[in-house]
Structure 1
Amino acid sequence: MRITRRQAIGGLAAVATLPATRLFAQSRLALPTSPVALNVADVAGNLALTQMAIENYAKAKPELVSKITFTKAPAPELPGKLKAQQAANRLDIDLVLTGTDALSAGLEQDLWVKLLPDHSASLPDLAAIYQEPAHRMLALGKDHGVIVTYYPSGPLLEYMPDRVKKVPTTAEELLAWAKENPNKFLYARPANSGPGRTFLMGLPYLLGDSDPHDPVKGWDKTWAYLKELHKYIEYYPTGTGALMKELGEGTRDMTVSTTGWDINPRVLGVVPKEAAVATLKGFHWVADAHYMCVPKGIADEKLAVLLDLMSFLLTPEQQAFTYDKGYFYPGPAVKDVPLSMAPQESQDAIAEFGRKEYADWIANNPVEIPLEPSSMVVAFRRWDEEVAGKKS
């Protein structure tokens, strides 16, 4: 069929009226004609869940990837390093696997490539494939991060049954237990600990505070509670690993935990297998996720490969690896990835160390998303100054 000049101009005019985001979303970057080397930086411990799947991609796509190098670093160090590399035009990190901490710091400093909807055409339909809470968590990425793993997290109580005969069932009972058993309950500094952070953000739901999303004006009960609890806590570890070691060695009898921090340390033998978990009345999950972010300054041909890698990692077959040994239990961000799809090693670990009650708790308790990054920073600062910094 022959197209007249008038028809052509009319078609162009129609395209011009489309929103710019639609145009971006419909374009795909060209894949390279020869394989590229990728450098992946992990600041969240995510490689325990995804490294095998990433290596599977390199094996499946040798025409796109010649080599993948993995590095690990503390989350607080990454933004400054990236900023310096970008300023010098010498970027040597192609993909960052991060939690909400470095994600939000990178957003604040404008370090990340905008992925959505600009490159939606190169990614799966995220709204269709993600589990519902994972899709809500996507909003924290402000279109600059794509979720690769998700879990409902906590806060849970973890305790040694031989040493805790009467398990608290409410936040008030937990406070009373801590008073009766000074220095036997412990939690880690929230800014450095997933369970600590989840406990901090979960308390407003447990206590019925006026606005669980506003740590300045809506957490009066939470701040009062934490200040009172502080009187019976010896110190705050700077990481969860040290805390679990104390629980395992018998120095502490009870702590706050998450599904992953319950299962994995028992798999590894850090905490005895017989450790038990409980929820408190009014419990809401406060979810957590890991994101894939791309630093600004990356070449288009590498970005094209990274988008293809992201799509690969979000297939059910590769998501099944995220069950790992319960580290981020369950782990998959996408729907319809049963444990039966996971490697046998993962199935065996979770069969032995998992909890039958988790399926019921996940299905029948509300799942909340964490605080917005700016509010989380405020909550951490207030905790540091008003709780940990308070003299007993």
Structure 2
Amino acid sequence: MKKGLGILLSLALTVGILLTGCSSDGAGSGSPQKITVYTVAGGDEYYKDVLVPMFEKAMKGKYKVEYGRSTPQELINKIKAQGKNGNIDVVISGVDALPIGMKQGLWEQILPKYGKELHADELNELSQAYVKKFDGYGIPNKTGPAGPVLAYNKDKVKQPPKTYEELKQWVKKHPKKFMYAAVPSSGPSRAFFFGLAQSMGEDYNKVESLNKTWSYLEEIGQNIDLYPSKTSDSFNYLYDGTVDIIPHSPLWAAMLKATGTLPPNIGLIKLTDAKTVVDSHFYVMPKDLPEDRKKAALEFIGFALSKEAQAQQLATGAIPSNKNATPDLILPQYKDDYKKIIDSVIPEFKDGDMMIIPKGDGVLFPDPDPMNQIYKTWEEKIQSKK
């Protein structure tokens, strides 16, 4: 009897161990499968606070998202160090980490292979252009105007410059009252630079030809005190009256105005002698994920690119990449936020109740190699003089 009982206990223990082992990754145990999502492009106010809870609720306990932040280079290094044992499933990238990872063979080419799952046929025109530019290794989540626009102190500047030439003349007459943040680290300053190259009739993808652009920056640089490393520092210098004009970003400024962060004496004006530089965020998937994790990653990205999820970005001051994501799809709790934002957008970037980039007005960021060369040359020619 004792021997039989011992055999039964031993058998029960063995079965228990086997069952525990089978369910250690969450599969088959009723516990949610983990999806690890990292952003190297910021955007917590949408990705972390809106999208992730919305996805988890819609999946009814199937998935649990682990959300993290990093810088582009730190994340690239982490993925390379982890190799095939990595734990990152989805990366949200700007126009920096995507091409760097492509060059190093880190990303899965998700389009056209997964176009149906990822709503590729619903992408707007500028998003399609970015898909083509990066050979389908990333799919845009949003495409918005980075500039060039100027923010100015309405109490001090009664007739703000509307062109780069007018700005140059204004800077001459008002030394030390214009500033822009460091080009390599500031979105509005990058748009200011790429807009300047356009206004000079030069191609920013051909860095060796940017003679007029560099001459312009050297000339106005004689009347600029410093180039802050952070965009937010240039905002503060404008707000406290140290300077009277800086580059800004139209929807970022609208968001700040809607939330009461932008002082009421700050105005915004688009520079008319350059097309709008289009910035973007992308969903990217590391290469060679195990099939179960790849399936989960694609399900997350597919949900994130649905018109229902995309529409919620409108309330954070972003233009969705899905052309069918319209204001009527915004959830009730975000509708007031969107109304405040759309009321704060300058006329050039809205049409009725929609934020827009006017058709034919958008240009893409340069390719990675010329962009890095521009950053290096700007540091050598311009920043080093301070």
3-state DSSP class of the match of 2:165? helix
Matches within 5 A, 1:126-165: 126=120, 128-165=121-158
Contact kept, 8 Å, 1:285 with 1:365, in 2: the verdict is: no
Residue deviations 1:88-114 (CA, integer Å, cap 9, x gap):
x43122111110111122112221122
Give distance in 1, aligned partners of 2:328 and 2:240: 34
Which among 62, 83, 87 is matched to residue 64 of structure 1?
62
Q: CA, structure 1 residues 96+256, in 2 after alignment: closer, same or farther (shift >3 Å)?
A: same
1:351 Cα deviation (Å)?
4.2
Residues 180-219 of structure 1: pairs in structure 2 closer than 5 A: 180-209=173-202, 211-217=203-209, 219=210
CA distance in 2, matches of 1:95, 1:386: 38
Map of 1:307 onto structure 2? 298
Report the counterpart of residue 92 of structure 1 in structure 2.
87
**2:330 aligned with 1:339, yes or no?**
no
Partner of 1:49: 46
Cα 1:368/1:351, change in 2 over 3 Å = closer
| Structure 2: distance between partners of 1:157 and 1:345 | 27
The alignment covers a number of residue pairs equal to 350
Aligned residue number for residue 22 of structure 1: none
Deviations 1:145-172 (A, max 9, x none): 1111111221111111111122112211
Equivalent-residue separation in structure 1 for 2:265 and 2:145 (angstroms): 22
Contact 1:340 1:347 survives alignment (8 Å) = no
Consecutive unaligned residues of structure 1, counting only runs of 5 or more, are 1-31
Aligned partner letter, 1:223: W
The alpha-carbon distance between structure 1 residues 303 and 174, as it changes in their structure 2 partners (threshold 3 A), is same
Q: Report the equivalent of 1:16.
A: none
Cα offset, 1:362, TM superposition:
3.1
Partner of 2:73: 76
Counterpart CA distance in 2 for 1:122 and 1:353 is 35
Counterpart mapping for 1:103-122 below 5 A: 103-122=98-117
C-alpha spacing 1:323/1:366, structure 2 compared with 1 (3 Å): same
Q: Separation in 1 of the partners of 2:285 and 2:324? A: 27
| Aligned with 1:267 (options 258, 271, 284) | 258
Q: In the alignment, is the contact (CA less than 8 A) between 1:316 and 1:337 conserved in 2?
A: yes
Matched, 1:353 2:344: yes
* Alpha-carbon distance between aligned partners in 2 of 1:351 and 1:279, rounded to the nearest angstrom: 17
Match of 2:53, SS state, is helix
For 1:389, what is the secondary structure of its paired residue? helix
Equivalent position SS for 2:385: coil
Conserved 8 A contact 1:48-1:324 = no
Letter of the aligned partner of 1:215 in structure 2? V
Unaligned runs of 5+ in 2: 1-26
Give the residue type in structure 2 aligned to 1:367: G
- Asked whether the 8 Å contact 2:89–2:286 carries over to 1, the reply is yes
> Which residue of the partner structure matches residue 216 of structure 2?
225
* 1:231-310 → structure 2 map (5 Å cutoff): 231-310=222-301
8 Å CA contact 1:247–1:271 kept in 2: the answer is: no
Verify: 1:40 aligned to 2:37, yes or no. Answer: yes
Q: Tell me, what secondary structure is at the counterpart of 1:122?
A: coil
**What do the CA deviations read for 1:206-258 (whole angstroms, capped 9, x no partner)?**
2222x3431222x2211111111211111111121221122222222111111
C-alpha deviation, 1:194, in angstroms: 0.7
Helix, strand or coil at the partner of 1:136 = helix
| AA aligned opposite 1:203 | L
Instruction: Give the alignment's Cα RMSD to 1 decimal.
Output: 2.1
Equivalent residue of 1:348, what SS? helix
Which amino acid letter does the alignment assign opposite residue 309 of structure 1?
F
Contact 1:244 1:271 in 2 (8 A): no
CA change 1:244–1:270 in 2 (3 A) is farther
The answer to whether the 8 A contact 2:310-2:325 is kept is yes
* AA at the equivalent of 1:299: P
Between the aligned partners of 2:288 and 2:86, the Cα distance in structure 1 is 7
Once the two structures are superposed, the pairs formed by residues 7-22 of structure 1 within 5 Å of their partners are none
Q: Counterpart amino acid of 2:108? A: V
Q: How far did residue 264 of structure 1 move?
A: 2.3
Cα deviation for residue 83 of structure 1 reads 1.1
The separation in 1 between residues aligned to 2:269 and 2:200, in whole angstroms, is: 17
Give the residue type in structure 1 aligned to 2:174. N
Matches of 1:381 and 1:285, distance apart in 2: 23
Give me the TM-score of the superposition, normalised by structure 2.
0.84
Residue-by-residue CA offset, 1:359-384 (whole Å, 9 max, x unaligned):
26832662111101111111111111
Structure 1 position 204, deviation (Å): 1.6
Aligned to 2:315: 324
AA at the equivalent of 1:214: K
Identity of aligned residues (%): 29
- CA distance in structure 1 between the partners assigned to 2:104 and 2:172 by the alignment: 43
Corresponding position of 1:10: none
